[in-house]
């Protein structure tokens, strides 16, 4: 996961993103797998005259008291 974080940091730091909005946030606990959660949200990013609005899904695992770790990411 550190490699993925580094890639995202490098990718986004080289872009001139002017505005970011998060909306339609949903957080669910998995009814079968204990300690697994899904977050889903719309991520609006304005870069120049372009606006991207993917729906992001992050899957999380509880790693301890108060600690969550992203185990998978999906966009659509």
Ordered by start, the domain boundaries in the chain are 17-75
Give the C-alpha separation, 58 to 69, whole Å: 10
C-alpha dihedral (72, 57, 36, 11), degrees to nearest 10: 40
pLDDT value at 74 more than 70: yes
pLDDT tens digits for range 2-44:
776 676 677 666 678 788 899 999 999 999 998 999 999 999 9
């Amino acid at each position: 996961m550190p490699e993925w974080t580094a890639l995202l940091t490098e990718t986004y730091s080289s872009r001139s993103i002017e505005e970011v909005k998060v909306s339609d946030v949903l957080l669910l606990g998995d009814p079968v797998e204990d300690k697994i959660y899904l977050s889903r949200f719309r991520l609006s990013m304005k870069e120049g005259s372009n606006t991207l609005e993917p729906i992001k899904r992050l899957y999380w695992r509880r790693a301890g008291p108060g600690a969550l770790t992203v185990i998978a990411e999906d966009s659509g």
